[in-house]
Amino acid sequence: METNPTTSVAPPSAASRLLERLVEGRESLDGAAATLQPAAEVARGRGLWRRIVTGEVLGHAAHPLMTDLPIGFFSSAALLDLAGGPAARGAARRLVGAGLLSAPGAALTGLAEYAPLGARPKRVAATHAVLNTASLGLYAVSWALRPQRHRAGVVFGMAGLAVSGVSAYLGGHLAIGEKVGTTAPAPESGIPQVIDAL
C-alpha cells in the first residue's frame, strides 16, 4: 500500500527534543505546576465569564490575542531604543509602561487555559508563566530606571525581551504542538453566535 507523503510525520526538531528533555518530559516540575492550579481554576470561572476568558465567544482562544498587546508594545519599545535616538526615549518608556499595563489580561486568559491541561503541557505552561513573570519584572525595572539611568533601563528592557522570546517559543509550542486553546469547535457563523453567547 502506498503511503501519502503529505501525511508522514516529520522527525522532531532539535529544539523540540531539547524542550522534551528540559521541560515537557521532566516529572520533577509537576509539583511546581500544581501550585498554579487554584489560581487557574479561579481565572477560568464559569458561565459567561468562562466563555469570554477562554475565547469561546470568539471561536478560538483569547490568550494569543491578548499576548499580542504586551509583545507589540515591548517590541516597539526595543525598536525605538535601537533606532529612535534620544528624541524617542519618552515614547519608548511609555511603550514599556503600556506593555506592563496590558500584561495582566494576557496572564488572566493564559491561566484560564491552564486549568484543564494534562501533566505534560502543564509543565510547559508553568515554565511559560515563570518566564513571563521574570520578563515583566525586568521590564518593570526598565521602566523605573529609564528617567535617570536610561542606558541601564534599555539593558533591562532588552533582557526582558530576550526572556519573553524564549517564553513565546513555549507558548507557540503549546498552541501549535499541543493544540492548547485550539481544540474547541469554531462556530459556523461567527458573529451571530458570539452575540447569542453574550
Backbone region of residue 33 per phi and psi (left: phi > 0; alpha: psi in -120 to 50; beta: other values): alpha
Q: The cell 526615549 sits on which residue? A: 89
Highest mean pLDDT among 79-83, 113-117, 166-170: 79-83
What's residue 174's pLDDT?
Answer: 85
Q: How far apart are CA 167 and CA 170, in angstroms?
A: 5
CA distances from 78 to 66, 82, 129, 146 (A): 19, 6, 22, 13
Indicate the range of 84-88, 118-122, 137-141, 150-154 predicted with least confidence: 118-122
Q: How far apart are CA 139 and CA 180, in angstroms?
A: 27
pLDDT of 179 over the 80 cut: no
Q: Are 114 and 174 in contact (CB under 8 A)?
A: no
| Cα Rg of the chain, angstroms | 19
Q: Are 70 and 103 in contact (CB under 8 A)?
A: yes
- The model carries a pTM of 0.81
CA distances from 53 to 30, 41, 42, 112, 145 (A): 25, 12, 11, 6, 34
**Alpha helix stretches (DSSP H) within 84-118:** 89-114
Backbone region of residue 13 per phi and psi (left: phi > 0; alpha: psi in -120 to 50; beta: other values): beta
What's residue 75's pLDDT?
Answer: 96
